[in-house]
Amino acid sequence: MSNYVFVLDTLKRPLTPCKPSIARKLLNAGKAAVFRWYPFTIILKKEVEANHEPLEMKPDPGSQVTGIALK
């Protein structure tokens, strides 16, 4: 199972989540900032042209741990 980092554009609209290595590179280059620690979300500092996909974040109830699912 892969971990993903949520990404927001400059207007706080959700973009496609990225892998932690990509997020780390964006943060180290100063192109993004941490928006929220849980769930870990970054916000881009420069405006990008991208198609905004409709994403929904829903709770994923498990027998012992509740997770987060993207739909």
Give the Cα separation of 59 and 52 in Å (integer).
Answer: 22
Residue 57: predicted pLDDT: 77
pLDDT (mean) for 18-44: 95
Question: Which pTM value belongs to this model?
Answer: 0.72
Under DSSP, the state recorded for 50 is -
Nearest Cα neighbor of 19 from 33, 2, 32, 34 is 2
Give the Cα separation of 45 and 56 in Å (integer).
Answer: 23
Reported as a single tens digit per residue, the pLDDT across 36-46 is 998 899 999 99
